[in-house]
Amino acid sequence: CACLFACLFLVCMLVTGLPLQASAAQISLAVVTKPGSAQYIAAAKFAELVKERSNGATTVKIFHSGALGTETEMLQQIQLGAVQMGIITLGPFDTFVPEVKVVAFPFLFKDHATVDRVLDGPVGQEILKTLESAGFKGLAFSENGFRHLTNSRQPVHTAMDAGGLKIRVMESTFHKELWRALGANPTPMGWPIYSELQQHTIDAQENPLWVLSVYKLYEVQKYLSLTGHVYSTHIDIANLGWFNSLPADQQTLIATAMHDAAIFQRAYNRSQEAANLEEMRANGMIVEEHPDLQSFRDRVAKLRDMDMYAAPATRALLDKILE
């Protein structure tokens, strides 16, 4: 029966002249956040570029706002090929590909220029390559942004002030250890978290400024400290088997469209930061602009010596970035 099917398929190919590799007519792409979010802006730009550059032959369907579950669940679905592509915050990747957490190492990047130099250079390429071990094709890095701490209890100037806060962290062992090291009480959760903050199941969260604006977290969080403790990238991925099965010209189209969408979105994200901060002030948040970052650095220094950073591949990547 399988043989008959194969024969029929071959005859079809001969008659229709279609290439053996099937081009994708519609691509499914998952983001956990909603329209207006950093992930969605990158996704929408990608969809626009793919449609334009394929002259309408390929379209992208964006699944958003948690339609496919949490980012961990989305990664599982992409791994299985049930969804073809995703723009996913780096945090939840660490159970799939342990090496990638090097990018989220606290206080690693001093500014956006350094981020771009690392992620757009050979180390970035190496990080994208590591994703293949988990069945992902790494295409590009779009941006969530530098993460800052907010809470509903008290102003946070030093790391000591963050002690004891019940904080939501991403579904990531690394982020959990990071907040443990800071003396807080971290709980990993998917996104979104508005009602948990509102009901005081948790006191605190940490995210880039756009998140406070798009998800109106200023309604349920009073204090903002500009800690910038972690640079949060997204990794823009495809299911590896699916990507490799596409004709070469379509692979190139997808890869370059995602690259260009990421560059566009990073610039957009950065252009919004000052306005986002003003918006938080206007909505009554109390902003600690210059927290004592040394006190945070001192407490997280020990993360480098923890087991999760001891694996040679992880250690080597971290050392390369530090260089």
The answer to whether the beta carbons of residues 212 and 280 sit under 8 Å apart is: yes
Instruction: Output the CA angle 316-147-227, nearest 5 degrees.
Output: 100
* Residue 122 burial (C-beta neighbours within 10 Å; 0-12, 13-18, 19+): exposed
Of the candidate residues 72, 130, 207, 233, the single one contacting ligand EAX (CB under 6 A): 207
Of the candidate residues 24, 29, 32, 212, the single one contacting ligand EAX (CB under 6 A): 32
Does an H or E element contain 193, and which? none
* Residue found by looking up tokens 């398929």 in the block: 9
30 binds ligand EAX per the rule CB under 6 A = no
Of the candidate residues 33, 72, 79, 239, the single one contacting ligand EAX (CB under 6 A): 33
Token pair in block for residue 204? 């605190």
Of the candidate residues 130, 142, 144, 239, the single one contacting ligand EAX (CB under 6 A): 144
Q: 199: helix, coil or strand?
A: coil
Q: How far is the CB of 244 from ligand EAX (least distance, A)?
A: 29
211 binds ligand EAX per the rule CB under 6 A = yes
In DSSP terms, 149 is beta-bridged to: 206, 225
Q: How far is the CB of 84 from ligand EAX (least distance, A)?
A: 21
Of the candidate residues 40, 146, 191, 309, the single one contacting ligand EAX (CB under 6 A): 191
Q: How far is the CB of 40 from ligand EAX (least distance, A)?
A: 10
Region label for 69, one of left (φ > 0), alpha (ψ between -120 and 50) or beta (otherwise): left
296 binds ligand EAX per the rule CB under 6 A = no
Q: How far is the CB of 210 from ligand EAX (least distance, A)?
A: 8
170 binds ligand EAX per the rule CB under 6 A = yes
φ and ψ of 201, to 5 deg? -65, -35
**Interface positions with ligand EAX (CB under 6 A):** 32-33, 89, 144, 170, 191, 207, 211, 232
